[in-house]
Amino acid sequence: MAEAVPEQCLSCHDGDDEDFRAAHLGRAGDSIDCRKCHDPHVSSDEGLIKAVGHDPFVESACDVCHPDGQGEGP
Ligand code: HEC
Ligand code: HEC
Ligand code: HEC
């Protein structure tokens, strides 16, 4: 690939606007790896989230692993 994934994705998606940060625990797009969670090609799930998800992630229980509400590793 000519560009690293975040740069490529961010050529179309604003990784620094309010909606983006709200969906990503405050993190900006240039500091996270899109492919950990999104499939760039196809998905049977809304939001292009990878089709087989980890239960707490799918249920939006972000706080069980991110108790401080930050998109950093626990
Ligand atoms: C050529 C422009 C383009 C590029 C590059 C691109 N996208 Fe998209 N993406 C779109 C369009 C257009 C849509 C559908 C409209 C929308 O939801 O913004 C979309 C939708 C999405 C959605 C669903 C948004 C929602 O509201 O459900 C996600 C997630 C997404 N893209 C992630 C990515 C990721 C991750 C990458 C990099 C691997 C990427 N995109 C690269 C144009 C692009
Ligand atoms: C089962 C535990 C767990 C759950 C639930 C979880 N996360 Fe995470 N998350 C992690 C771990 C561990 C890391 C650090 C390792 C990594 O980046 O893969 C991480 C990293 C992240 C990052 C940074 C990714 C990067 O590339 O640096 C973001 C953003 C994030 N999580 C958002 C979320 C959101 C949003 C939710 C809820 C929808 C969520 N997480 C639910 C464990 C979890
Ligand atoms: C830790 C997991 C994780 C990572 C890493 C991640 N996302 Fe997301 N993303 C999510 C979740 C969860 C949502 C909310 C999905 C929903 O509500 O349907 C989301 C929503 C979105 C949306 C729609 C919301 C909006 O309006 O902005 C886009 C576009 C998007 N992500 C693109 C990206 C791009 C581009 C990257 C890399 C720069 C990225 N994501 C990295 C988990 C992640």
Q: With a 6 A CB cut-off, is 66 part of the ligand 3 pocket?
A: no
Q: How many CB atoms lie within 10 A of CB 2?
A: 5
User: Ligand 2 test: best mutation among 31, 57, 70, most atoms within 8 Å of CB?
Assistant: 57
In whole angstroms, give the CA distance from residue 70 to residue 27.
7
DSSP 9-69: HHTTS-TTSHHHHHHTTT--GGGS-GGGTB-SS--SSGGGB-SS--HHHHTT-GGGT-TTS
For the chain, the average pLDDT equals 87
Ligand 1 pocket, residue 48 CB under 6 Å: yes
In this prediction, residue 25 has a pLDDT band, given cuts at 50, 70 and 90, of: very high
Residue 69's pLDDT band, with cuts at 50, 70 and 90, is confident
